[in-house]
Amino acid sequence: MPDKLADRRIPAGDDFLSRAEVEAITPDELIARITALKPLIASKAASAERERRPDDEVWAALRRSGYFYLYVPRRFGGLEFDPDTYISATLPIAEACPSTGWTACFAAEHNWLIAQMPEATQSEVWGKTPYVIAPSAASPPGSATPVAGGYRLNGRWKWGTVVMNADWVMLNALEPVEGGPPIARMMLLRAEEVEVLDTWQMAGMAATGSNDIRVDDVFVPDGYQFAVQPVRSGRGNGRAIYGSGLYGSPMLPNLCVTAAIPALGAARQAVQLCRERLQTHVKLGGTAKSVEKPAAQMRLARADLLARCAERTIRSAARENLQTGEIDEPEQTGERIRIRAEIAIAVQQCVEAVRTCCEAIGSSVHALENPMQRLLRDVQVMQSHIVYDLDIATELHGRTLVGLPPNSLLL
């Protein structure tokens, strides 16, 4: 029986903002626009989960807001805003629906990866689509076979976040090297060149639509790829073209920050919902409202502090990574490992905050009509992302502290 293909929405490309409209957007204006969309996003969260994809109306509203121009360089008509603005503009989406926040923030951040392509390719790509909506799927890596003028790409990738609304697709593949380790390359294709398989059946993060991607013997021109290794340390085309700072920062900490924002949004929203629920909740057999109970007050306070500490860590890590690219190896690897571990701890704090809020407000939290249960399921699945595996993250950091080399390739 053939694989079922997903019902994706390849953008028509007729709703991009004019360059003048983009130039008029300030950080505060963008944050205000996204905050105004929060009720719409929240109202569509349940149906997006049932449909296992971002809601069409919500996605169209995000496109109109200017959000996806966040990490497009100014020289190509983008906003090129700082990481703090990126975090602040994403949080309202994630608070309303963590799955939608996850998809949106990866779509925005993946334009940073386009900035690592050769400059001529950037000009071609952003000339066709002023921002890119594209997954960046890395696992398991495909195969990139060198041929005249480029590569033949084959493979099937999991975790295709953003693929349901993509106009481009980025896929990690290994080029074989005789007598040596393979070279990891990020390959860029048009969305029409790949198949998207309807495989995303998950207990949490269902609305991300992160389906499998399949490619059968597609030619990728040499200019539409980059070697991953230099980009890991912020030494790729982004630094060569734009200098130090945003596009010269190391890749993995950027990913860690991106994936942490939706978890933070879930934690912040859980605190707000818990605060509201405690005002009216009375436990069975009791007479006083939960808001009057010290135990409930302490749980609420703990959840709030966990979310605040996590936010402080995530924002600090995002700022610090802008300078990490200036550190030479081997010291830089240790810094990247530390930042990853710090953010993994922050995500753990977000999960604990949501769980603590759920414990404070009783069994009703598990009703499907209660958004709290979706926050809990989404954030628990987010926590399972490989970059937040605490055993791996803390082992890597511990090895660094005692002078041992890393035992993972994910650096």
What is the pLDDT at residue 296? 86
* Rounded Cα distance, 167 and 139, in Å: 20
Task: Say how many domains are in the chain.
Answer: 3
Other residues' Cβ atoms within 10 Å of the Cβ of residue 284: 6
List b or e across 226-246, with b for residues whose CB sees 16 or more CB atoms inside 10 angstroms.
Answer: bebebbbbbbbbbbebbeebb
If asked whether residues 207 and 323 sit together in one domain, one would say: no
Separation in Å, CA 305 to CA 90, 195, 267, 312, 390: 20, 44, 10, 10, 21
What is the pLDDT at residue 284? 62
Separation in Å, CA 18 to CA 24, 47, 60, 214, 397: 10, 32, 16, 34, 46
If asked whether residues 117 and 146 sit together in one domain, one would say: no
If asked whether residues 261 and 369 sit together in one domain, one would say: yes
In terms of residue numbers, what domain contains 47? 19-128
Under DSSP, the state recorded for 406 is: P
What is the pLDDT at residue 49? 98
Question: Would you say residue 12 lies in a domain?
Answer: no
What is the pLDDT at residue 285? 62
If asked whether residues 293 and 215 sit together in one domain, one would say: no
**Residue appearing with tokens 């930042």:** 339
* Rounded Cα distance, 286 and 288, in Å: 6
Among 250, 231, 248, 228, smallest CA distance to 336 is for 250
Question: Would you say residue 307 lies in a domain?
Answer: yes
pLDDT in tens, the chain (411 residues): 779 999 999 999 999 999 999 999 999 999 999 999 999 999 999 999 999 999 999 999 999 999 999 999 999 999 999 999 999 999 999 999 999 999 999 999 999 999 999 999 999 999 999 999 999 999 999 999 999 999 999 999 999 999 999 999 999 999 999 999 999 999 999 999 999 999 999 999 999 999 999 999 999 999 999 999 999 999 999 999 999 999 999 999 999 999 999 999 999 999 999 999 888 776 766 666 767 788 889 999 999 999 999 999 999 999 999 999 999 999 999 999 999 999 999 999 999 999 999 998 888 889 999 999 999 999 999 999 999 999 999 999 999 999 999 999 888
Question: Would you say residue 216 lies in a domain?
Answer: yes
Residue at a domain's end among 227, 261, 288: 227
Residue at a domain's end among 128, 147, 162: 128
Cβ–Cβ < 8 Å for 82, 238:
no
Residue at a domain's end among 90, 112, 128: 128
Question: Would you say residue 238 lies in a domain?
Answer: no
What is the pLDDT at residue 319? 97
